[in-house]
Amino acid sequence: MQRILITGSNRGIGLELARQYAARGAQVFATCRDPQSADQLHALAQAHADRVHLVALDTGHPESIAEAASTIHAQTDGLDVLINNAAINPRDDRLRAFGQLEPDPILDVLRVNSIGPVLVTQAFADLLRRGNSARVVNISSGAGSLEQQANGCGYTYHASKAALNMFTRCLAGTLQADGIITIVLNPGWVKTDMGGPNATLEAEQSIRGILDVIDRLTIDDNGAFCQWDGKRLPW
């Protein structure tokens, strides 16, 4: 049985990841800031009570990461896949409009989107080392590609994903010695609360592709920037 940890599991991409892994029979540690208010996630856990475990984890707060790590360490002796999915993209001109940018809200986004995945990976590294062909998958975006944003961008969200991409390259170099494969992955433009109704991909299709990419990873893919369908993306 695979052991999977997913952050940001209460909706959208994270929820669909939890659903598909649970359907496969994996043991899923589904985390989010407030599991008590995550109705769809609760329904999933009730349907798979033997293998879906809900854990509170706010990636923007180190103390929450530490508490979640302590909880999960007590429930498993290893992790096979860590998916750092949690992210925020507030609709706030202080984050995206030149002339109105402010440092504090920008830093709040960076804590969740960029720094959080590194701290989560660090907190669970020992469980990953004891996993079977362990993988770390950081969910990024085409918005984080410098080449694809040559004509300008929305500032904070784009910068947070570009920073995540570099952090992933650093993690890949660090964890390779332990046999852990680390990649950054673009799920595509998905119909979620964040992606909006005009997005081109259904969550089910994107996640089905992501699981296939994760299944097929080899050490040669370590540090890669991949799309949901396996295509390599430019940095």
> Is 235 within a domain?
no
Q: What is the pTM of this model?
A: 0.95
Q: Give the span between the Cα atoms of 113 and 132, in whole angstroms.
A: 27
Number of domains in the chain: 1
Residue 171 token pair: 């993690």
Q: Which of 29, 157, 167, 225 is flagged as catalytic?
A: 157
> Is 233 within a domain?
no
Which H helix or E strand runs over 81? strand 81-84
Which pLDDT tens digit goes with each residue over 110-159?
999 999 999 999 999 999 999 999 999 999 988 888 888 767 678 999 99
Examine the residue annotation and report whether 155 is marked as an active-site residue of this protein. no
The three-state secondary structure class of 172 is helix
Report the DSSP beta bridge partners of residue 227. 186
CATH number at residue 12: 3.40.50.720
> Is 234 within a domain?
no
Which pLDDT tens digit goes with each residue over 21-73?
999 999 999 999 999 999 999 999 999 999 999 999 999 999 999 999 999 99
Q: Which domain holds residue 23?
A: 3-227
**Residue corresponding to tokens 């990461």:** 65
